[in-house]
Amino acid sequence: MQYITLDNETDFDGWREAARSLVLHHVQPTNVAWTVQGRDAELFAPQAPSPILAVNDGSFKVSGKFVDLAKAAILHRDPERFAILYRLLWRLKDNHDLIEVATDPDVALATAMARAVHRDEHKMHAFVRFREIGRERAAHYVAWFEPEHHIVELAAPFFAKRFADMPWSILTPELCAHWDGHSLSFTPGVNKSEAPGEDRLEETWRRYYASIFNPARLKVKAMQAEMPKKYWRNLPEASIIKPLIEDAERMTGAMIANAATDPHKPQRRPEAPMTRKTAANDLEALREEAAHCRACHLYKDATQTVFGEGPKSANIMLVGEQPGDKEDLAGHPFVGPAGQMLDRALEEAGVDRKKVYVTNAVKHFKFVPRGKIRLHQKPNTPEIKACRQWYEREVSAIQPDLIVAMGATAAQSVFGKITPIGKNRGRLIDLPDGRKALVTVHPSYLLRLPDPEAKALEYRRFVEDLKIVAGLQKKAARAA
Amino acid sequence: MDVQRKLEILADAAKYDASCASSGTEKRDSSDRKGMGSTAPGMGICHSYAPDGRCISLLKVLLTNACNYDCLYCVNRASSNVPRARFTIEEVVKLTLDFYRRNYIEGLFLSSGIIRSPDYTMEQVVGVARKLREEHHFRGYIHLKTIPEADDALIAEAGKYADRLSINIEMPEEASLQQFAPEKDVRAIRRTMGRLRLKLDEAEENRVAKTKARPQRFAPAGQSTQMIVGADSASDHTILHTSSNLYGSYKLRRVYYSAFSPIPDASRALPLVQPPLLREHRLYQADWLMRFYGFDVGEIVDDSAMLPLDIDPKLAWALRHRDRFPLDVNRASREELLRVPGFGTKAVERIIATRRTTTIRLADLARLHVPRNKALPFIVLSDHRPSPHRLDAAGLIERFKPKATQLGFGF
Ligand code: SF4
Opening angle at CA A150, ends A68 and A229, nearest 5: 115
Q: Measured between CB atoms, does B283 come within 8 Å of chain A?
A: no
Would you say B144 and B125 are in contact if contact means Cβ atoms under 8 Å apart? Answer: yes
Name the least confident of A184-188, A323-327, B305-309, B400-404: B400-404
Q: Measured between CB atoms, does B253 come within 8 Å of chain A?
A: no
- Which 3 state secondary structure label does DSSP give B383? coil
A293 lines ligand 1 (CB under 6 A): yes
The chain B residue lying nearest A126, using CA atoms, is: B47
- The protein residue whose alpha carbon is closest to atom 4 in ligand 1 is A296
| Whether pLDDT at B320 is above 50 | yes
| Whether pLDDT at B91 is above 50 | yes
A266 closest CB neighbour out of B29, B79, B95: B79
Confidence of residue B269 (pLDDT cuts 50, 70, 90): confident
Chain B residues in contact with A209 (beta carbon < 8 A): 48, 50, 56
What pLDDT is recorded for position B411?
Answer: 40
| Whether pLDDT at B145 is above 70 | yes
Flag if B4 and A328 touch (Cβ within 8 Å).
Answer: no
- The protein residue whose alpha carbon is closest to atom 6 in ligand 1 is A364
Would you say A295 and A389 are in contact if contact means Cβ atoms under 8 Å apart? Answer: yes
What was the ipTM of the complex prediction?
0.92
Chain B residues in contact with A235 (beta carbon < 8 A): 48
Mean pLDDT of chain B: 90
Flag if B114 and A221 touch (Cβ within 8 Å).
Answer: no
- The protein residue whose alpha carbon is closest to atom 3 in ligand 1 is A387
Q: Measured between CB atoms, does B335 come within 8 Å of chain A?
A: no
B48: distance to nearest CA of chain A, Å?
7
Work out the angle between the directed axes of helices A105-127 and A152-162 (0-180°, nearest 10): 40
Flag if A255 and B263 touch (Cβ within 8 Å).
Answer: yes
Strands B141-145 and B107-111: parallel
Q: In this structure, which long-range contacts are made by residues B405-411, counting pairs with CB atoms below 8 Å and at least 24 apart in sequence?
A: B407/A218, B407/A219, B407/A220, B407/A221, B408/A220, B408/A221, B409/A220, B409/A245, B411/A242
What pLDDT is recorded for position B140?
Answer: 96
Closest CA to A438 of A351, A376, A366: A351
Flag if A128 and B275 touch (Cβ within 8 Å).
Answer: no
A322 lines ligand 1 (CB under 6 A): no
What pLDDT is recorded for position B409?
Answer: 40
Flag if A122 and B45 touch (Cβ within 8 Å).
Answer: yes
Would you say A128 and A145 are in contact if contact means Cβ atoms under 8 Å apart? Answer: yes
A252 closest CB neighbour out of B34, B114, B262: B262
A264 closest CB neighbour out of B79, B350, B360: B79
Flag if A263 and B358 touch (Cβ within 8 Å).
Answer: no
Stretch B15-40: mean pLDDT: 88
| Whether pLDDT at A52 is above 80 | no
A286 lines ligand 1 (CB under 6 A): no
Q: Measured between CB atoms, does B198 come within 8 Å of chain A?
A: yes
Whole-number Å distance between alpha carbons of A36 and A17: 15
Which residues is A429 bridged to in the sheet? A437
Name the least confident of A68-72, A136-140, A154-158, B232-236: A136-140
Q: Measured between CB atoms, does B402 come within 8 Å of chain A?
A: no
The chain B residue lying nearest A203, using CA atoms, is: B4
pTM of the entire structure? 0.91
Residues 6+ apart with CB under 8 A from A392: none
Percent of chain A with pLDDT over 70: 91
- Which 3 state secondary structure label does DSSP give A283? helix
A291 lines ligand 1 (CB under 6 A): no
Name the least confident of A99-108, A367-376, B152-161, B235-244: A367-376
A305 lines ligand 1 (CB under 6 A): yes
Flag if B198 and A329 touch (Cβ within 8 Å).
Answer: yes
A221: distance to nearest CA of chain B, Å?
7
Which residues is A437 bridged to in the sheet? A403, A429
The chain B residue lying nearest A110, using CA atoms, is: B367
Name the least confident of A70-79, B8-17, B210-219: B210-219
What confidence tens digit (pLDDT) does each residue in A222-270 have?
999 999 999 999 999 999 999 999 888 787 777 767 656 666 665 554 4
Q: B216 vs A301, which has greater pLDDT?
A: A301
Would you say A299 and A364 are in contact if contact means Cβ atoms under 8 Å apart? Answer: yes
Whole-number Å distance between alpha carbons of B385 and B394: 19
H or E segment and range at residue A374: strand A373-376
| Whether pLDDT at B180 is above 70 | yes
Q: Measured between CB atoms, does B330 come within 8 Å of chain A?
A: no
Query: Which ligand 1 atom sits closest to the C-alpha of A302?
Result: 6
